[in-house]
């Protein structure tokens, strides 16, 4: 399938939703401070643009960088943002005119639009019904993106293969003593990911040696502190390949004391328990609840969710967490992390995280995150 067909197919599914909702035009905005990967998902444009989709199945992209858009984007029309004085409200008016949206039609703008900006849109377009809602277009796209299509799964598998190469490499370097500090580990991953054709890291690498692994997300993300020494060291990273990110966590263990050994065993058991429960039709919240109960019965507490979806974002739908508002049901095509972990202010922390694909048959573990005993 061509790239054009991939993006057209994704837009077609959304056009059907627009028709059911009676919405004539939807605006997506990917700008600094208001990032929305839906724009890249629908068009291929890496970032910094406005995208307008009309119910009569036309896509208009208004990018900051027209040269970049001509290289990467797929849309029915491209117009430079400079033609609208680089003003989003002016661009919306121009898009409605260009796409011949009938007066009185419903036009939906992003849910994250600030209230003063919303009022400007309404004031500038009195002849249209401007709507801005929490459970609108953004929520609809989130549901569509939660189930990856064949092209996305292909890209995630490639990203996972690169990630697995880096896992093996970093283990080798730690064992050989070539990685001595958190900085060494983070720098190696960044360099080697780029060598393998990645856009970069999916998020800032978190490298925490024995003295700093007690935190869920170490702050700062990494320092020149020792890594891989006696105790527990955590390395949390992901690579971004053609927009799609992985997310894994390794725990390096050296000369653990009894309390640390207990944490490691419980974390490994929790991971196996979660993986056994992850299958098509399973309730995401129920999987997380079972793991939470497992830790509670062992007189331990996991202070974060069990996992989260991955794709164009490091954290997206579906949520794998034990919260009342979590209604996700696992289905083939969903890709998410499972990442049980335990943390102690004295003994440090451990986490085991891998990326999981739900298939018709069950699960496919894409990555090879693990607890590494040195």
Give the residue carrying structure tokens 């598998």. 157
SS3 258: helix
User: What CA–CA distance (Å, rounded) separates 75 from 98?
Assistant: 14
Report pLDDT for 3: 61
pLDDT band, residue 308 (cuts 50/70/90): very high
Query: Any residues with CB less than 8 A from the CB of 316 and at least 6 apart, and which?
Result: 37, 142, 145, 146, 308, 309, 310
Please answer whether residues 293 and 269 qualify as being in contact, where contact means their C-beta atoms are separated by less than 8 angstroms: no
Q: What is the pLDDT of residues 186-207, one digit of tens each?
A: 999 999 999 999 999 999 999 9
Joined together, the tokens standing for residue 290 give 């079972």
Average pLDDT over residues 48-62: 98
User: What CA–CA distance (Å, rounded) separates 289 from 295?
Assistant: 10
pLDDT band, residue 160 (cuts 50/70/90): very high
Q: What is the pLDDT of residues 352-370, one digit of tens each?
A: 999 999 999 999 999 999 9
User: What CA–CA distance (Å, rounded) separates 198 from 191?
Assistant: 10
SS3 257: coil
pLDDT band, residue 122 (cuts 50/70/90): very high
Burial of 174 (0-12, 13-18, 19+ CB in 10 A): buried
pLDDT of 1 strictly over 60: no
Beta-strand runs (E) in the chain: 25-30, 49-54, 58-63, 77-78, 106-108, 129-131, 200-201, 206-208, 231-237, 239-241, 244-245, 248-254, 307-309, 316-320, 335-338, 341-344, 348-351, 354-358, 363-365, 371-373
Joined together, the tokens standing for residue 341 give 């972990």
Report pLDDT for 33: 85
Please answer whether residues 190 and 200 qualify as being in contact, where contact means their C-beta atoms are separated by less than 8 angstroms: yes
Q: Does this model's pTM top 0.85?
A: yes
Distance set, CA 234 to CA 96, 200, 223 (Å) = 51, 20, 13
Query: What does the mean pLDDT of the chain come to?
Result: 97
Query: Any residues with CB less than 8 A from the CB of 305 and at least 6 apart, and which?
Result: 288, 319, 320, 321, 322, 323
Joined together, the tokens standing for residue 179 give 């990685």
Average pLDDT over residues 63-91: 96
Joined together, the tokens standing for residue 235 give 């390395």
Report pLDDT for 152: 98
Q: What is the pLDDT of residues 210-241, one digit of tens each?
A: 999 999 999 999 999 999 999 999 999 999 99
Query: Any residues with CB less than 8 A from the CB of 239 and at least 6 apart, and which?
Result: 159, 162, 163, 166, 189, 193, 196, 198, 200, 201, 202, 245, 246
Report pLDDT for 113: 94
234-252 b/e with 16+ CB inside 10 Å = b? bbbbbbbbbbbbbbbbbbb
Domains of the chain from N-terminus onward: 3-145 (3.40.350.10), 147-373 (3.90.230.10)
pLDDT of 2 strictly over 70: no
């Amino acid at each position: 399938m061509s790239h054009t067909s991939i993006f057209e197919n994704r837009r077609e599914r959304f056009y059907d939703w627009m028709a059911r909702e009676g919405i004539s035009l939807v605006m997506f905005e990917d700008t600094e401070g208001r990032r929305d990967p839906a724009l890249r998902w629908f068009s291929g444009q890496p970032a910094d643009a406005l995208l307008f989709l009309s119910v009569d199945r036309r896509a208009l992209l208004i990018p900051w960088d027209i040269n970049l858009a001509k290289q990467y984007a797929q849309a029915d029309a491209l117009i430079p943002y400079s033609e609208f004085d680089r003003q989003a409200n002016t661009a919306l008016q121009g898009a409605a005119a260009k796409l011949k949206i009938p007066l009185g039609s419903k036009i939906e703008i992003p849910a994250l639009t600030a209230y003063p900006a919303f009022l400007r849109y309404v004031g500038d377009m009195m002849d249209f019904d401007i709507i801005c809602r929490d459970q609108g277009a953004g929520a609809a796209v989130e549901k569509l993106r939660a189930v990856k299509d064949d092209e996305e799964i292909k890209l995630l598998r490639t990203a996972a293969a690169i990630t697995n190469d880096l896992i093996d490499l970093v283990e080798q370097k730690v064992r050989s003593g070539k990685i001595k500090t958190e900085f060494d580990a983070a720098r190696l991953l960044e360099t080697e990911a780029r060598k393998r054709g990645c856009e970069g890291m999916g998020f800032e690498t978190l490298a925490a040696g024995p003295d700093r692994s007690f935190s869920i997300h170490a702050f700062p993300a990494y320092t020149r502190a020792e890594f891989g020494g006696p105790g527990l060291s955590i390395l949390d990273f992901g690579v971004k390949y053609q927009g799609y990110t992985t997310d894994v966590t390794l725990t390096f263990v050296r000369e653990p004391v009894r309390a640390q050994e207990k944490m490691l065993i419980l974390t490994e058991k929790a991971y196996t328990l979660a993986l056994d429960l992850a299958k098509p039709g399973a309730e995401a919240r129920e999987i997380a609840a079972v793991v939470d109960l497992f830790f509670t019965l062992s007189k331990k507490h996991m202070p974060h969710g069990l996992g989260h979806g991955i794709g164009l974002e490091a954290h997206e739908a579906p949520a794998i967490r034990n919260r009342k508002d979590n209604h996700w049901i696992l289905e083939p095509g969903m890709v998410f992390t499972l990442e049980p972990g335990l943390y102690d202010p004295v003994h440090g922390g451990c986490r085991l995280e891998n990326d999981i694909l739900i298939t018709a048959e069950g699960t496919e573990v894409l990555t090879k995150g693990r607890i590494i005993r040195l």
